[in-house]
Structure 1
Amino acid sequence: MNIKALFKILILLLLMALGIGSCTSNKKAVEVTSQEKKAFEQKEGDTITIANDSLEYDIIIIEPGYNVWLQSIAKPRQYYSQSFLENRNNIYVREWNARVMQPQRYSPNLYELQINYDFNINYGYEVNYQLYNYFIYFQRKYNQRLGPFVPRI
C-alpha cells in the first residue's frame, strides 16, 4: 500500500470518527429541583380539565403531581405571551403526535393518545398556558425532549 492510499484511509477514518462523535448526544438530563421531585413523586391522581367553552374544546390531564407542579413551580399566568405559547404548543403537539404513531419506538405508556390541536384555531390564553405547562412538566418528569428546546421553568 502506498503512502497516498494510507493517507486517504487515515483521513476517511478520521472523518468517520468525527461523524460518529457528532452523532452522540451531549444532551444532559434536566436538573430537577427538590420541590419538583416532590411534585413528581405524588401518587394521588390530579385531574385537570383545560377548557374553552366557546369553542367546545377541552383537554383532560390525569397526572399525579401536575396540579401541584402547576400551582407551585410553573411560571405564573401572563409570564408568556399567547403567541409564544401557541408556537411552542405547535412544536410539542406535532412531536407528541408523531411519537403516538410510533409505539415500537416510543413508549405507548407515555404517549397514549394523539392531541387534536388545530394550529389555526385560537383556543385562548388559558388552554395554551396549561397545555404548554403540561408539556414542560411531562418533559421534566419523564426526561423527554419534545423539541429543540431544553424544558426549563
Structure 2
Amino acid sequence: MSDVTIYHNPACGTSRNALALIRHAGIEPIVIEYLRTPPSKEVLRAIVQATGQPVRALLREKGTPYAELGLGDPAWSDEQLLEFIVQHPVLMNRPVVVTPLGTALCRPSEAVLALLPVRKLPAFRKEDGELVEDDGIRRGGQA
C-alpha cells in the first residue's frame, strides 16, 4: 500500500502535473478523486490541521459557488467552511498531497517535490512544456 495520497481532480492541469510528478518519482499514490468520493468533514479537518494552514487556504474560488455562497465573508467559522466543502466538494482546492513527510496543497504542482522521499528526480516536463528541475533539497510540507 502506498504512503502517498493525492486528492485529485483529473480535469485540473495542476492536479494532473502533481500526480505525474509523484509517478515520475516511482511512487504509485492512492488517488482520491474527491469530486466522486468527497472526504468527510473529519478528514477535511485533519487535512487542514496537517497543512498548518487556515481552512480558507483550502477553499477554491474559481469555477465554484464560492461567491454565490458568500464565502468571502470573514464571519464564517472554520466548521461552517468545512461543512460547505462537504456539501460542495468543488470548493476544495487541489491537489492536496499527503505523505509521511507532510501534507500540502500543491499549487504549483512542483510543490509536491517537498513531500516526496525520493532525492533528486530527473528533470520533468509539465503538460504545458515547462521544465521542472529538482534541486534535491526537501524542505518538507507541514507534518
Q: Calculate the TM-score normalised by the size of structure 2.
A: 0.30
More helix by proportion, 1 or 2? 1
* Rg comparison, structure with higher value: 1
Which structure carries more relative contact order (alpha carbon 8 Å, separation 6+)? Answer: 2
More strand by proportion, 1 or 2? 2
